[in-house]
Amino acid sequence: MNSQQLKEEIRRLAKERNALIMAHFYQRDEIQEIADVAGDSLAMAIEAAQTDCKVIVLCGVHFMAESAAILAPDKTVLLPRTDAGCPMADMVEIDKLREMKARLPGRPVVTYVNSSAAIKAESDICCTSANAVAVVNSLDEDEVILVPDRNLGRYIAANTDKKCYFWEGYCPFHDQLPEEDVLAAKQAHPDALFLAHPECRPQILAMADLVASTSGMIDYVRTSPAKKFILGTEQGILYRLRKENPDKQFIMPNSLLFCKTMKYITLEEVLHCLQTMSPTVTVPAEIADGARKSLERMLAVPR
Ligand code: 13P
Ligand code: SF4
């Protein structure tokens, strides 16, 4: 089958199976193209909780499929590549988190959705990059523990009055972005705005005109009068930005903002997964119940 035939067969089968295909903005272009919904982590969690479809094909990384399975327990959640993980999510060990909680009693644990279901179950509330500050400010306590991203943690700390304790995790792609590369892009394009994801280091965020989640960047570009943007996030976002803004120019500061596991899923794998209705992602009930509390508490926070 050529690529067009694959896309048509996926759409046909998705309809037959009553399946909703969701794709993260970092997925391959062709995967975002065939998806019913492309979104950031927050949008995908909301959609999973609300959809009437029986099946969710989650084109993203493992924690996103787990969140969908937790929020939509009556649905079948398919993840075309179960080995598509998030290295940052793997940086938290449950025993060390329990030790941290014991060392810092009374501080709620705010866990970025880029984490396993077991870590979410160990937490008080979740957040995404789109709602992190609002989530932290919604809490009564004056001190909080932020897990696992130290960069998102520092960004939250700079935007709240609460005292923050961080886990030392990071995204290997956002964290490596060097100041020199951003500076060089700014010098080459002095009329461009620099948009950075809060997973970038504080030195990078200090250089940004806007710090936002992937959906925050997309919304901003849509209404901005500016014509050029330098992007401090994973390059998959270019697909949506270019599609929506054919008159605007987008510049990547380097070629290393490339999340390998986000690119694992191919059209063939989406089709195979709809044909075989596998692999599914499930979360054991005792973990899912705890993780659901943290996710639902997050979803109840006004944005
Ligand atoms: P968003 O929630 O902004 O889409 O980010 C998810 C992610 O994995 C960023 O690296
Ligand atoms: Fe995880 Fe970074 Fe990939 Fe996002 S870009 S899924 S944080 S490794």
Q: Indicate which CATH number applies to the domain containing 195.
A: 3.40.50.10800
Q: Is 24 known to sit in a ligand binding site?
A: yes
Residue nearest to atom 1 of ligand 1 (CA): 40
Cα 51 to averaged position of ligand 2 atoms, centre (Å): 25
Ligand 2 pocket mutation, candidates 26, 79, 88, 233, criterion most atoms within 8 A of CB: 88
What is the pLDDT, as a whole number, of residue 257? 97
Residue where the block lists tokens 């943007």: 229
Q: Tens digits of per-residue pLDDT, 107-120?
A: 999 999 999 999 99
Ligand showing the shortest atom-to-Cα distance for residue 173? 2
Q: Is 51 known to sit in a ligand binding site?
A: no
Q: Which domain holds residue 129?
A: 89-171+286-299
Q: Tens digits of per-residue pLDDT, 33-87?
A: 999 999 998 899 889 999 999 999 999 999 999 999 999 999 999 999 999 999 9
Residues 90-116: what's their mean pLDDT? Answer: 97
221 shares its domain with 235: yes
What is the pLDDT, as a whole number, of residue 303? 74
Residue nearest to atom 6 of ligand 2 (CA): 86
Residues 22-27: what's their mean pLDDT? Answer: 98
Q: Dihedral sign, CA of 9, 12, 18, 22?
A: positive
What is the pLDDT, as a whole number, of residue 89? 97
Q: Is 198 known to sit in a ligand binding site?
A: yes
pTM: 0.95
Alpha helices in 72-213 (DSSP H): 94-103, 117-121, 132-137, 150-158, 179-188, 202-205
276 shares its domain with 251: no
ipTM over 0.90: yes
Ligand showing the shortest atom-to-Cα distance for residue 24? 1
41 shares its domain with 103: no
User: CA-based angle 199:204:206, to the nearest 5?
Assistant: 110
What is the pLDDT, as a whole number, of residue 42? 84
Per-residue CA distances from 55 to 76, 113, 179 (Å):
5, 21, 43
121 shares its domain with 187: no
User: What are the structure tokens assigned to 176, written together?
Assistant: 């490596």
Number of domains comprising the chain? 3
94 shares its domain with 165: yes
Q: Are 165 and 102 in contact (CB under 8 A)?
A: no
Atom of ligand 2 nearest to the CA of 149: 7
29 shares its domain with 160: no
